[in-house]
Chain A
Amino acid sequence: MSSNDKEHLHPPAPVVDEVSDFEVLEIAVRELAIEKGLFTQEDHNQWTDYMHTLGPAPAARLVAKAWLDPEYKKVCVEDGVKASLDVGIDWVNTMPTKFGTPSDYCNLRVMEDTPTLKHVVVCTLCSCYPRPILGQSPEWYRTPNYRRRIVRWPRQVLAEFGLQLPEDVEIRVVDSNQKSRMIVLPVRPEGTEGWTEDQLAEIVTRDCLIGVAVPKPGVTANGKRPVRPAVNPYKH
């Protein structure tokens, strides 16, 4: 490869390209413990899986169900913890700790949007986030940039996310400063009439649940991205 080709490539994200003695020690201790039957590989997987598989899927399901069932929607708005049970999240017992740590208090509030009211969630003091139902927070959610500005210039910040709201829609910034964690229940978009719960859940992306986006038919987190031909294709 010529040096000229190199300049056109994105550098890969850095990795630690070295095995440390500590990494080896961790593996050795774990494997010996399993070998001696002190615990099983399944025990180990159960814990690590829990930490790695948290994601926005249960919250998306909650919203889809609420769109289809007005009675369930009432439960969501009244008692988010109770409503979460129907999508498989027990705020107390799903967490391995079984009581809620300071970073995962057990109170969920579901903030219902209307055609004239749009909620958006932030934690201005740190980065509180409803992890049991939404997974780990995105990097930008934790930045001082987002935390300071959304509460002061919400329309500008939402516009930066590509969400421009008309004047007749009021914005309500929800600052998650105490023991409640919040998700947004957006308005069901047009063009989804007759959809199933599965179809609806697909368009409720993480950003919709934080409130910096609104659901749109065809826009899903897992959607195929367009593939475009290279401008300067590699010459063999």
Chain B
Amino acid sequence: MSKPHYDREHHVKKATGIGDPQCFKGEAPAARFKVGDKVRIKDLPDLFYTRTQGYTRGAEGTISRLVYESPPAEDESWDNTENVEWFYSLVFDMQELWPNYPEAYAGDTVETEIPEHYLEAV
């Protein structure tokens, strides 16, 4: 019996002794956004897998840090590591994300990471 061949180890070979996401360092095009920028999360269609939470889609957030370069999970889950891009840590106001979040706690926030192709300038 024969099984299809595929390279189960290419990620291991790339990342061993270096780490992931460190192994993608330097592969992304120049970052389009900087710390302090206000951005909106695009509600892009995703096939079967995404790590961009539903609750962030359409919301506006502020970039707090450029965290690392990596292929987006939406590609990597299909073993496609060609499109390395910058990942950003973003801070969202709770009131922006949820209806009726109490005014008394207007300062409460969520921080989470989103890859660049989901972001558009506000």
Contact = CB atoms under 8 A, between A and B. Distances in A.
A91 B68 CA distance: 15
Interface residues of A, number: 32
Nearest to B17: A98
B17 A93 contact: yes
Contacts of A100: 15, 19-20
A172 B20 contact: no
Contacts of B98: 152
A137 interface: no
Q: Is the interface of B mostly helix, strand, loop or mixed?
A: mixed
B78 to A, nearest CB: 13
A110 B87 CA distance: 17
A75 interface: no
Interface in A101-126: 105-107, 109, 111, 119, 124-125
Interface string B98-113: 1000001101111111
Given A92-B17, A99-B17, A152-B98, A175 B110 contact: yes
B16 interface: yes
A98 B67 contact: no
Contacts of B53: 124-125, 175, 177
Interface string A137-170: 0000000000000011011000000000001001
